[in-house]
Every structure is written in structure tokens, then in C-alpha cells.
Amino acid sequence: MIRLDAQRKVHLCGGVSRRDFLHAGALPMFGLGLREAAAAQQVAKVPDEGMNCILLFLVGAPSQIDCWDMKPDAPAEIRGPFRPIESNVPGVFVSEIFPRLATMMDKVSLVRSTYHQATAIHDTGYQLMQTGRLFGPGIEHPPYGSVLAWNKGPKGDAPPYVLLPKPIGATGGNLPHAHGAGYLGKTYDPFILNADPNAANFEVPDLLPPDYVTAVRSERRRSMRKAIEGNLNAFEASAEAKLLDENFRQAYSIMSSKKTREAFDLKLETDGMRDRYGRTRFGQSCLMARRLVEAGVRFVTVNMFETVFNEVTWDIHGSSPFTSIEGLKDEVAPNFDRAYTALLDDLYYRGLLSNTMVLAFGEFGRTPKINPAGGRDHHPGVWTSLFAGGPFKGGTVVGESDEIGGSPKTRPVSTAEIAATVYRGLGLGLDMELRGPGNRPIRLVEGGNEPIHELFA
């Protein structure tokens, strides 16, 4: 991490200098390094309002058979314990564990034939479902939010890309989880909340006002200045310094913006609205996502869980430290059903659903046959992805799985096609080129992969 200081002060609003601002901790918040900042100067931003997106990442991987692609005529060891219920769209059934969703399927479309052919571990699914590609040695592809931030930039004082509530932690692999901007540079990393918005003492430490800087930090700044000031005089006159000045002003404007800080403040919502989303980490994160979109954030990722170990999640292997199939009915499904439908309904009545895509993705599906522990294991052969809002039609089902929910029967949809669909929805051209390692051009979506045209109105 590069930290910069200078004898020449650049004053920002509130009388705080660029020097003071840096040492107050703003630079780490945005992950700005000199190389990334200089590269950012060459990016042609497209300043428009555009399409927003909220991605609900269902960490652990929901079971297609127990949720949105039920097989009631299959043998008991395949069909599972739940029964299908008809939704408000004739002929479209979902699991009984989603009673609220069943009343709103006219706003949601299901892709029941998503698949991938990579190793069946969580990490590969995180990569594929957030970038459309697998990572390779020395190359990490940027997620959708980072690409949007790179291409469009911020709207006003709001950060363009926010991740709630925390990054995905340990889930059994040791590969990147597609949280960072990769070769686009840390400038386009998301702002990560790193807190539980449902906690009683919740606050957003990196958005505290400038007077939060303590006397201890001030003293540390003074001592550091003496040591480094002489080496930075030459830097101050450079083009990179001018670019960094602009980045600092932008970062400070976000930190000091009353509107942006208030977007993170759930105490400004009524108790009734907070109850409507559910008093859970996921429910309150979904509510915060709506507030952030209202405040101008372009892309919000909400990770439903931080890990799959010793927590009730979608990862229903059956035995400890994982979840049983019955655990879906008692905790996970009600949590999702309440928050997801509240989010869609809230966006709709606020006039935001038409310009806000709401995606609900898992990293793979689950095995058709119930295992001896009473659960289902990892299965990337087929699963269901949910699309709503923005340009997407509601009440549509794309593709179908076979009789046991093990593989696509019709209209197989790859993760690259999922990525193409997301990017088309965001208004980005699929032939756009990113700049990879060594300035190598990398197409936004691998050639030959088209969006899921059936989803678009």
C-alpha cells in the first residue's frame, strides 16, 4: 500500500488537507495504489445514470430440486421432503418453503438449466457466476460490479460498487472468490462494509466524519511527515500526483457526503420496514442494498452467508458442520423468502425496479440423489438462477432439467451466457475489451457466448 504526503497542501471541503485525509485512513478504504491510479487516468468513463444491479449471492448453493425445479414424480430419494406449490403464474411451481415468492413469480424469471463443467468446489462457482470465467495462474478476472465501476464511474458522491455485509470467507477451497477487481486494479474494488447491519451497535467505521480522526493518529502523521517529506517533493510535480489529487477529492467527497453516510444508516428506516425485510444479517443487508441504490450506488453484491461451516446455509450435505435438507425449511428459506420478496416489492413501489436488476445466484446445484447423511452434495451439472427487475421479463422459465434434476434437458445455459446476460442488462457491449496483465486485451465475454434472449422484455 502506497501512502503519500506532501508539503503542498490540497484543501478539501471542511478544511481538511489531502495530507491529513490520507493518514486518516481514506486511501486504504479505496485500495488506491500508484499503478492502479495512473491506469485509471486512461479509462474513458461513460457518465450516465444507466442500469443498477443488486446481486444476491446465495453462498452454499441452493438445491434446485428442493427450491425452484421440483421433481414430485421422481422416487423419494430424489424428490425430497417438500411439495411444490403453484405460483401466481399459471403452470409455474416453486417449493412450499417459498410461500411469499409464489405470490410474486410474475416479477421473477427462472433459468432452470444453468450449468458449469469445472471442479465442483465453491470457489470455482464464485468465480464463474460473478465473472463468467475461471481464474488462471496470475490472472483474476473482475466481477460485474468492478467492470461497471471501471466503465461508468460513480454517480455523484456514491461509490459505484459496494459489497455487503462481508466477503465470503472459508468454504473449503483455497482459490480467489472474485471479490476484487483483479487486473482492472484496486481502484475498482468494491467498498466492503465488513460489518453486520443487523447488529445493535452497527455503524460504518470508514464513513465516519473527518473529526473522528484521533489525537493519536494526528501525532503519528506529524512524525511520519518528517521521515518522508523530502522524497515526495519531486512526486508532487508529476502527472500522477495530479491524478491522485482528484482521486483523493472523490474519496473524501464519498466519506464526507451526508447522503452517502445516511444510505448506510438503517436507523432512518421505520421499524415496520426493517421487520418487513427480516431482522437478520441478510434481511438488513437487502434493505441497505435498496438504500444504496437510491443513493446512487450502481452495483451492490449481498453475500447471504460468510461461510458454510457451523452455520445453517444452503450447503445441505446433511451432517455436521453442514446443514440438513430440513434446515432449509426452518431457517434458510424463510430468511431468503422474506428478504427477497420485500426487496422486489419495495423497489417496485418506489419506482426503482424498472432500472434495477435483482439477481439471485448460487455457485452450483445439488446432487439429485439424497446422500446417506440425509443431504445433497455439490453438483454443477444443473441448477436454477433467478432474474428480476431491469430489462428482464417476469413469469418466464428458461430451460428445463431432466427427470431427476441432474443435467439440462433443454436450453443449457453456461456461466459465460449468464455473464453475457448480466452485461447486456447493464448496457455494456459484449465486444468491449478490458486490459489484462501486460496490457493484453481481454473481451468482456468470451466470443460465441450470447445473452439469454428469452429473458429480455
Q: What is the pLDDT of residues 374-390, one digit of tens each?
A: 999 999 999 999 999 99
Q: Is the pLDDT of residue 37 over 50?
A: no
pLDDT averaged over the chain? 85
- Residue 346, pLDDT above cutoff 90: yes
**166 contact partners, CB below 8 Å, separation of at least 6:** 192, 193, 194, 195, 196, 303, 306
Tell me the pLDDT band of 238, cut-offs 50, 70 and 90. low
Nearest to 258 by CA among 156, 352, 153, 145: 156
The C-alpha torsion from 46 through 49 and 50 to 51, rounded to 10°, is: 140
Higher pLDDT: 421 or 223? It is 421
Q: Is the pLDDT at 215 greater than 50, yes or no?
A: no
pLDDT of residue 242: 53
Above pLDDT 90, what percent of the chain? 71
Q: Note the pLDDT of residue 27.
A: 40
275: which 3 cell numbers? 421487520
Query: Which pLDDT value is given to residue 174?
Result: 84
Check residue 181 and give its pLDDT: 95
Other Cβ atoms within 10 Å of 294 Cβ, number: 16
Tens digit of each residue's pLDDT (9 = 90 or more) over 84-141: 999 999 999 999 999 999 999 999 999 999 999 999 999 999 999 999 999 999 899 9
Band of the pLDDT at 31, cuts 50, 70, 90?
very low
Report the pLDDT value the prediction gives residue 392, as an integer from 0 to 100: 98
Q: How confident is the model at residue 232 (pLDDT cuts 50, 70, 90)?
A: low
Contact 9, 19 (CB under 8 A): yes
Model confidence band, residue 9 (pLDDT cutoffs 50, 70, 90):
very low
Q: Which residue has the higher pLDDT, 265 or 210?
A: 265
DSSP E strands: which ranges in 225-307?
A: 299-303
Q: Are strands 413-414 and 108-115 parallel, antiparallel or unpaired?
A: parallel
Q: Which three cell numbers stand for residue 40?
A: 485509471
User: What residues contact 268, with CB distance under 8 A and at least 6 apart?
Assistant: 262
Beta-strand ranges (E) seen in 156-195 are: 161-164, 191-192
Examine the pLDDT at 436 and tell me if it is beyond 60.
yes
User: Sign (positive/negative) of CA torsion 93, 95, 97, 101?
Assistant: negative
Dihedral of alpha carbons 215, 260, 270, 101, sign = negative
Which of 403 and 260 is assigned the larger pLDDT?
403
Asked whether the bond before 62 is cis by omega within 30 degrees of 0, the reply is no
Least confident of 186-190, 218-222, 261-265, 385-389: 218-222
Q: How confident is the model at residue 211 (pLDDT cuts 50, 70, 90)?
A: very low
- pLDDT at position 62 is 98
User: Which residues is 360 bridged to in the sheet?
Assistant: 56, 386
Instruction: Evaluate if residue 2 carries a pLDDT over 60.
Output: no
Q: In angstroms, what CA-CA distances link 249 with 21, 27, 40?
A: 9, 11, 15
Cell representation of residue 186: 484496486
Q: What are the structural domain ranges in the chain?
A: 1-30+211-256, 47-204+264-455
pLDDT at 29: 40
Direct distance between the N- and C-terminal alpha carbons of the chain, in angstroms, rounded to an integer: 45
Give yes or no for residue 216 having a pLDDT over 50.
no
The angle formed by the CA atoms of residues 239, 245 and 251, to the nearest 5 degrees, is: 140
- Any idea which architecture 47-204+264-455 has in CATH? 3-Layer(aba) Sandwich (3.40)
Residue 1: what pLDDT?
Answer: 26
Q: Which element (helix H / strand E) includes 130?
A: helix 122-131
Q: Which residues of 32-67 are buried (b: 16+ CB within 10 A; e: fewer)?
A: beeebbbbbeebeeeeeebbbbbbbbbbbbbbbbbb
User: Which residue did the predictor score with more confidence, 185 or 18?
Assistant: 185
